[in-house]
């Protein structure tokens, strides 16, 4: 038994949305006291490190409302119910970049922000991409710009804070250490 475990006493469902659910849990702390935990329930996500033949990283720029600005990121998206992460990764790569692959390699999975969310993100990479003749439609509320960038350009974007999300920073570090 984990000596740091917080036992859930009660769960109050606050919000049920299309992407997330929000709950407030009453918990018993390891010292016997009680507290509240606000939790975001998420179905999970994938992200793809995709390199072109000329060793450029496929990236997308999109507006992120919580940041109130645009962000340059690696392709990523939410798992659909019952969908295998590798299938989600291929779908998101195709939708967001117009490229496809049948050579996705699993890297790792991690919690993106475990202090308040259970989102579990699966990360894949490929250096075998092919441009699709017809790009699949994006979601109706999704607008992205495609970029193909080398490490020098990516480092500039990081310095300018145009790249600030964890999955993309992790992906860049992974590339620097492994390529």
CA distance 45 to 8: 25
For 166-177, the pLDDT digits (tens) are: 999 999 999 999
For 51-107, the pLDDT digits (tens) are: 999 999 999 999 999 999 999 999 999 999 999 999 999 999 999 999 999 999 999
For 109-168, the pLDDT digits (tens) are: 999 999 999 999 999 999 999 999 887 777 788 788 999 999 999 999 999 999 999 999
SS3 87: helix
Q: Is the CB of residue 79 less than 8 Å from the CB of residue 88?
A: yes
Distance of CA 63 to the CA centre of its chain: 15
- Domain 45-178: give its CATH code: 3.90.79.10
pLDDT for 179 beyond 80: no
Distance of CA 165 to the CA centre of its chain: 9
Encoded tokens for 69: 């600005």
Sheet containing 21-28: which strands, arranged edge to edge? 7-16, 21-28, 34-41
Confidence band for 1, pLDDT divided at 50, 70 and 90: low
**Residue-level pLDDT at 59:** 98
Give the predicted TM-score (pTM) of the model. Answer: 0.92
Residues forming the active site: 140
**Residue-level pLDDT at 140:** 80
Domain limits of the chain? 7-41, 45-178
């Amino acid at each position: 038994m984990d000596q740091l475990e917080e036992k859930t006493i009660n769960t109050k469902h606050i919000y049920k949305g299309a992407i997330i659910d929000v709950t407030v849990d009453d918990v018993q702390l390891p010292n016997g006291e009680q507290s509240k935990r606000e939790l975001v329930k998420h179905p999970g996500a994938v992200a793809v490190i995709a390199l072109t033949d000329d060793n450029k990283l496929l990236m997308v720029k999109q507006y992120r409302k919580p940041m109130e600005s645009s962000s340059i990121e690696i392709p990523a998206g939410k798992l659909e119910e019952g969908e295998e992460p590798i299938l989600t990764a291929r779908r998101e790569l195709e939708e967001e970049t117009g490229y496809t692959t049948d050579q996705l390699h699993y890297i790792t999975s991690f919690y993106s922000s475990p202090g308040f969310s259970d989102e579990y993100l699966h990360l894949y990479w490929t250096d075998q991409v092919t441009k699709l003749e017809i790009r699949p439609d994006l979601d109706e509320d999704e607008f992205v710009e495609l970029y193909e960038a080398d490490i020098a350009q990516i480092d500039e974007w990081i310095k300018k804070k145009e790249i600030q999300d964890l999955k993309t920073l992790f992906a860049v570090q992974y590339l620097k250490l492994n390529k």
